[in-house]
Amino acid sequence: MIYLVGLLLVVLLGIAIAVAAKLQKVMGSTQSESEAPVPNNKANGALWLVFLVGGSVAMVWSYLASQDAFLPEASSPHGRETDSQFWLDMGLLTIAFFIVNFLLFFFSWKYQYKKGYKATFYPENHKLELIWTAIPAVIMASLVFLGFRSWTKIMSDAPADSQVVEIMGKQFGWIVRYGGVQDNKLGGYNYKLIDDNNNNPSGIDYSDEASFDDFINVSEMHVEVGKPVSLKIRARDVLHSVYIPHMRVKMDAVPGMPTKFWFIPDKSTEQMRAETGNPNFDYEIACTEVCGRGHFAMRLRLIVEDKASVDAWKQQQKPVLSTILEADPKFITKIPEKLRAKAMNYAPYVEEADSTTASTGSAAAASASMR
């Protein structure tokens, strides 16, 4: 060990001596050649200017050329607010970018080597330092303050009159759940109840009677224009992320950790079709977290329309409970006894059901009497 350290010491000492010798040589050469002509001095100086002009043109061009890739115009108030802040930030950054780069390239050209010129040693200027520290600090602090104010507003709790919609990401698609048309209230859920084979892909918990009229849709989400939408976000398997570009909505869907996001869609699909001149325009909900092979196909249509149309659509949707009971009438036994009678209202084919238990029979009777 001691030999190894000794060897290392010798090697490092050797390197130190070599560096010192090299330094000596470089210092000697700069002193002796300071008055020697510098090759290509003028051309190098001119190149700085060429880069300044060429770079500025390229920057403006790249900005204009990529406009198609910018986000579309926002269709929600908070979207327009974040956009205006984005462009404020972008504007200030662009000004700073041009000032800094102009000085960098222009000075490099202006203060190129000239015979007889002497550099001035300029160690400190407190006034200048104060200016270039204070101005950016004030601007940055204002931007942070503005951003924080918007952030707290956007991430606040959804208004009480929101339309509540649950959206659950899974490999590979979205399951949208509504609180139904009877109570318009989302029922409970439990991940242990998730069962694709038995028509309960989002794990609706039927020990909660608010679940009975809940319906799901895997291709469309319908919301009312101008009214807050409160998204309850869940994930069934891996990380997904709810992304509605026009609404400026983006929130991760995390397994085991419900997230949320609320927004106001204030332009209907119809209005957007007229504005864009595209009769096939549709708002899109996409997944923006690479979640596996079928990630690219996680697309859902968002339809923003008036209340009457949303209500009419809701009326056409079939409660999940009806689908479950139709496929498996015995499912009724899994519902708490005191709720069975109410649950049977959702089972149109109850007469065909196996009514071996007294309670199922009475529930069937109750259901029949209600129809």
Residue numbers at the binding site for Cu ion (CB under 5 A): 287, 291, 295, 298
β pairing state of 163-170 and 229-235: parallel
Of 295 and 301, the one with the shorter C-beta distance to Cu ion is 295
Q: Are 184 and 177 in contact (CB under 8 A)?
A: no
Token duo for residue 357: 């238990």
Of 185 and 295, the one with the shorter C-beta distance to Cu ion is 295
Cα 249 off chain centre by: 6
- Tell me the closest approach of the beta carbon of residue 298 to Cu ion, in angstroms: 5
Give the other-Cβ count within 10 Å of 359's Cβ: 16
- Tell me the closest approach of the beta carbon of residue 178 to Cu ion, in angstroms: 23
- Tell me the closest approach of the beta carbon of residue 221 to Cu ion, in angstroms: 17
Q: How far apart are CA 80 and CA 86, in angstroms?
A: 10
In this chain, which residue has its C-beta nearest to Cu ion? 287
Of 298 and 320, the one with the shorter C-beta distance to Cu ion is 298
- Tell me the closest approach of the beta carbon of residue 239 to Cu ion, in angstroms: 8
Of 19 and 290, the one with the shorter C-beta distance to Cu ion is 290
Quick check: helix, strand or coil at residue 164?
Answer: strand
Q: How far apart are CA 265 and CA 267, in angstroms?
A: 6
Of 183 and 252, the one with the shorter C-beta distance to Cu ion is 252
Q: Are 230 and 262 in contact (CB under 8 A)?
A: yes
Of 291 and 310, the one with the shorter C-beta distance to Cu ion is 291
Of 185 and 301, the one with the shorter C-beta distance to Cu ion is 301
- Tell me the closest approach of the beta carbon of residue 169 to Cu ion, in angstroms: 7
Quick check: helix, strand or coil at residue 175?
Answer: strand
Q: How far apart are CA 231 and CA 244, in angstroms?
A: 12
Burial class of residue 47 in the structure, from the number of CB atoms within 10 Å of its CB (0-12 exposed, 13-18 middle, 19+ buried): middle
Quick check: helix, strand or coil at residue 329?
Answer: helix
Of 204 and 291, the one with the shorter C-beta distance to Cu ion is 291
DSSP collapsed to 3 states, 251-314:
EEEEECECEEEEECCCCCHHHHHHHHCCCCCCEEEEECCCCCCCHHHCEEEEEEECHHHHHHHH
Cα angle 309, 314, 319; round to 5: 170
- Tell me the closest approach of the beta carbon of residue 320 to Cu ion, in angstroms: 24
Residues 6+ apart with CB under 8 A from 314: 178, 180, 181, 215, 222
- Tell me the closest approach of the beta carbon of residue 361 to Cu ion, in angstroms: 47
- Tell me the closest approach of the beta carbon of residue 286 to Cu ion, in angstroms: 8
Whose tokens are 């986000």? That residue is 71
Of 223 and 291, the one with the shorter C-beta distance to Cu ion is 291
Of 52 and 298, the one with the shorter C-beta distance to Cu ion is 298
Q: How far apart are CA 264 and CA 29, in angstroms?
A: 71
- Tell me the closest approach of the beta carbon of residue 236 to Cu ion, in angstroms: 12
β pairing state of 215-217 and 173-178: antiparallel
- Tell me the closest approach of the beta carbon of residue 293 to Cu ion, in angstroms: 10
Token duo for residue 216: 């799901």
